[in-house]
Amino acid sequence: MTTNEQTVSGERADILDLLNTRRNFLRHTAQGLTDEQASTRSTASELTVGGLIKHVSTVEQHWGEFAQGKAATAPVEFTPDVVASWQDQFRIVEGETLADVLAAYDKVAAETEDLVRTLDLDAKYELPAAPWQPPGVFWTVRMAFLHIASETAQHAGHADIIRETIDGQKTMG
């Protein structure tokens, strides 16, 4: 547990364990990397280890806002600035370091863990408007936390492939 060491059990403890396990796999991919390596595109993809951690942190923060009922439901207008901002969440930009990205991720993780401990897991909110999402779909807070774990696991796999291509390190195996 990252913050607020209050004892939790049952479903909340399971969700916290799932989130922490997936986050640790992702963090492991960055272990020992320099800032340059963390920004290295080592495959045909534009993804980097540092960029993936930054992206997962941003996604987790947004789902935490959703879980609190703060998510916007209005459609996003994809202006050049919005697109550029979206692209920047997948890379370490000028003035950022891997240490900065990891610290921000730890902060978001601690905030999410506090939400898991305190929010009503059965509360439901409408999913934000998106081109891939029809209107009128609702998720529980529980589903938002499970989605964070799923997204983190998926991107940990991407990061593991990128890291293995950089220097041969694998998260498992």
The shares of helix, strand and coil residues in the chain, as percent rounded to the nearest 5, are: 60, 5, 35
pTM value > 0.85: yes
% of the chain with per-residue pLDDT over 90:
70
Q: Is residue 59 part of a domain?
A: yes
Cβ-based neighbour number of residue 82 at 10 Å: 11
Contacts of 6 (CB under 8 A, 6+ apart): 117
Compute the distance between CA of residue 171 and CA of residue 157 in angstroms, rounded to an integer.
Answer: 9
pLDDT in tens, 100-138: 999 999 999 999 999 999 999 999 999 987 777 888 899
Cβ atoms 3, 114 nearer than 8 A: yes
Boundaries of domain holding 162: 10-167
- CATH for 74: 1.20.120.450
Average pLDDT, the chain: 90
Q: Is residue 1 part of a domain?
A: no
Q: Is residue 4 part of a domain?
A: no
pLDDT of 4 reads: 47
Number of domains in the chain: 1
Confidence label for 57 from pLDDT (cuts 50, 70 and 90): very high
* Residue 170 three-state SS: coil
pLDDT in tens, 69-95: 997 656 667 788 878 887 888 889 899
